[in-house]
Amino acid sequence: MSTLERALTEPGLEPLPARAADLLRLLGAPPRLGAHLRAVHDVAVQVIAWVAGELGADLGGVDREAVLFGAATHDIGKVRFPAELSGPGAEHEPAGRELLRSLGVEPRLARFAALHGNWQRPGATLDELLVTLADKVWKGRREPGLEEQVAQLVAQRRGEPVWAVFMRLDDELTRIADGADARLAFQSGFPVGEQPMI
């Protein structure tokens, strides 16, 4: 079994959507990227469960499939920019969207690769903010402005004061962040790897 395959299938974290995992295999993604996407996706599953508790089974219009696919592929552009796996950089963002589009992924799913690093832009949707939130909280990082935006959008849909939703969101994110060490250990257990095939 390859190291990438281990990153995609080892127990302990939620499995990626099959389509996302297949794309990572096709691209020969670095194992660490596979592990990172599993960790962020695992958190996105928990965040979506919280949203369902707040907004009901229909998620108040949140596109569950898109959020989970977005979390599972948001950094896929790092296949083309592997230095950004262990260092700063944002070249992977537009490259990720272009790569996904070139592989036939529809725009509603590919957009997260380009948008996850720019949550402060006007018009950011709740779906997009949830992917960014998962990408922060997976490692225990808290971003108050982002969390306030999420709480505001959920509160609008609930017809409830923002502070009340924010308090519940804060409790949930504190719980999720408590698992950051295990997720970080999982990710660091996989090498950055070789250059991609594409």
Tens-place pLDDT, residues 76-123: 999 999 889 888 888 999 999 999 999 999 999 999 999 988 888 999
Residue in this structure with the two tokens 């272009």, named with its chain if needed: 98
**Domain map (residue ranges) of the chain:** 3-188
Tens-place pLDDT, residues 131-182: 999 999 999 999 999 999 999 999 999 999 999 999 999 999 999 999 999 9
CA-based torsion, 42, 193, 112, 72: positive or negative: negative
- pTM for the complete prediction? 0.94
How far is residue 104's CA from residue 24's CA, in Å, rounded to a whole number?
14
